[in-house]
Amino acid sequence: MDYFTAAQNRYTTKAYDTSRKIPQAQIDGLLEALRQSPSSVNSQPWHFIIASDDAGKARIAKAAQGPYGYNAPKIMDASHVIVFAAATDITAAHLEAVLQREDRDGRFRVAGAREGQDKARKSFIDLHRYEQKDLQHWMEKQVYLALGTVMAGAPTLGIDTTPMEGFDFRLLDAELGLREQGYTSVVLLSLGYHGEKDFNARLPKSRLPRADIMTFL
């Protein structure tokens, strides 16, 4: 399916077909697209946890209790679930790892490019850390860029998705030990194929018209 058709047809899935699993080759492709997601100054302040079996999904579903119980079936019945986590800080070690990766990938082709990239990235991060004082929020915005990357790619493969903020991030962070690793959960994404009980699959899609949401200069 081409991108434009996929964008028109995609919707948020409300119920999954438990008998269908996404082929491994397609999951591998989506995870590579996820790895290639853009982020401001190539900061990559994220970590992704993927669950594909009942045991792994059950651990994630522990965070969908009480007022979030409506999301538990979307987690358990899906083929795969991804936890999108943001860093709780951008450490010197992380920045050095990014810089070394860029160097190995051949991004510094002129003298001083490596040092210039390092200085510019740190300056931008310090802007958010000390002046804007919104570093955590800024890092979480990068995570949503990664979410959008997967959600845009999945329907081109005929894969349905459900993004979810309705979960207890404190419970999930504790269950997965994320805080100890320097991360915190931000959003979940279920992937799979919609089932017969998915009422949303039978409803027409609704969006505001272009004239209401776009201004051309």
Q: Which residues are catalytic?
A: 14, 74, 165
Question: Which amino acid makes up residue 21?
Answer: K
Q: How far is CA 199 from the centre of its chain?
A: 25
**How many Å apart are CA 26 and CA 142, to the nearest integer?**
24
What ranges make up the beta strands (E) of 57-182?
A: 80-87, 160-164
If you search the block for the tokens 């699959």, which residue do you land on?
A: 201
**Under a CB-based contact definition with an 8 Å cutoff, are residues 180 and 174 in contact?**
no
Integer angstrom CA distances of residue 214 from 63, 205, 210: 37, 19, 6
Residue among 202, 165, 155, 147 nearest 70 (CA) = 165
Backbone angles phi, psi at 99, to 5 degrees: -65, -45
**How many Å apart are CA 138 and CA 40, to the nearest integer?**
9
| Burial class of residue 19 (count of CB atoms within 10 Å of its CB; 0-12, 13-18, 19+) | exposed
If you search the block for the tokens 């990664």, which residue do you land on?
A: 146
